[in-house]
Structure 1
């Protein structure tokens, strides 16, 4: 991935560790110095002046010290990788460069410094729901969904996109959606290096490009793209958020057959976090039998 955009740099974090292959290194220890460079989208932090929208570098520094002072490793390559993994676990960090300096390394000749540099990009699975029920320029929602998929495939930071078949469902929402035409829905699974917020912004860009307007919350629309789940709940890498602008996992996904049925179509082993549990999506579908979902058929 090409790295660009905003950065948070933390340099010169010093801690004493017992890393090395020699007995005296494990016995006496030595000082290590660590630099961390994090690629983060700081747009919202700059706009809101809110710590929640950036990386808390004090916490990152504490993580660095915990690793350096923690379990001894033979190689500082291992130390650097462990630090990088901890930093990338923060939802807003999209990539990280970690430099571990070992200025007292037993080199055997005069030297200035030894440093190991590791670079890691975020790479997590995501689940995206696609839907629409309005024509656009005379074309049906199925055409808009195909164009949305094409744009998603070209989105930097989103890769290995796989998409379900299209399904037709009645609008869900009672009186709020009365009289609306049926929806055409699909689900895509992919991997991303984008933070949840930046990925959501990319989804909104695709919606806008394909005629989405936000005049009514439950109104009919040409295209709706939702971020259903970010990360893998089985591995504990999934992001949980209650923020108004992005709740993760999607709070109503478990109640929506138009999400779960297409999701199973593209990933029969799909799992969704429900509270503190991780549930097989296939186990949730039978309870939604009152929501009719049929596979879309091209009328041509």
Structure 2
């Protein structure tokens, strides 16, 4: 299990490679953590650097490099980290991965394979490839080094009573819970069409769920990670579900009211704000900005609530 000591060690390891992204107070008691400004456009670079650097320190980084499966952002984080460190990278993404993310993966120099219709199928193909080549497998969210790396976001948050975090496989919310769960309420915000952690908490263990959400490219894991589930239980993480309509509306509001262009997955955290009773001081983690800004004008804008 990952704890704050692991996260502090990760912060020391990756400090020279990642950005300390800004937080700003939108209005009294409401903060945005702008992790969309991280290298590769999301928090995923943190875990990727920690996984690869930790393997190198231990003498476990093979010449074959690294292999990762991703809906897009984990692959971008790994591809960026690998390029920065001079390591070969292969990335498996679903056939329907956003073209903007696939193009950026290739720009970073990764070998891209498109396999399956969703993350789970790309993950299975990546595991076969790692076994064939001997490459280091980098999981999108369910490895201790990944969770500890993502948890470094939590070390940078302003003091808060509540932290809202979007959830796919759960690596980010797990890391943040391990970092600040003893001093703040951590709330997982999930698409109703991909309720991985919500279902796990209800069932008492990770279970498969169907994935059908506008945020599926970044929050499209079929099952919450074992590490995420364990840390969520340990730190009392709550789960809230939001509709695709609420996610789209939150994304448009972030752009029209704050000029922040995020992907749908990041907007989910903001969409959860209205579902929290007595939130006190709140930090909304805006975790990714790998999106086509033109789509901000292609979706209907509803009246803000």
TM more than 0.5: no
Q: Which structure's CA Rg is the greater one?
A: 1
- Per the normalisation by structure 2, the TM-score is 0.23
- Larger strand fraction of residues: 1
